[in-house]
Amino acid sequence: MQHNEEYLLKVLEEGGLITRQQIDRGRSLLNGEPGVVDVLINDGVVSDVDVSRTLAAQAHMDWIDVSAMVIPPQIINQIRSEDARRFK
């Protein structure tokens, strides 16, 4: 997983959302362990929305805020309860 985190940190830094100093501070708090992005989110340096939007842009994908969408009841009724719990 650390390779994925390094990629994400690089993308966020290149996008101007975080600085090298913020990354280094996050690393120092974790003693080199993975989870720097989580530290930066928890510290309010970057938001989870910023991270997901940046990844979507990097992949040339549209970003959609599904939390703001109203899902029709007929769609909800098609989802098995086990799947709903599994995917939250």
Distance CA 20, CA 61 (A): 26
pTM to 2 decimals?
0.70
| Tokens coding 1 | 């997983």
- Which residue ranges make up each domain of the chain? 2-87
Q: Select from 49, 28, 50, 26 the least CA-distant residue to 38.
A: 26
pLDDT in tens, 28-80: 988 767 799 999 999 999 999 999 999 999 999 999 988 888 989 999 899 99
With 60 as the cut, is the pLDDT of residue 25 above it? yes
Q: Select from 65, 63, 50, 54 the least CA-distant residue to 40.
A: 50
Confidence of residue 2 (pLDDT cuts 50, 70, 90): low
DSSP conformational letter for 76: H
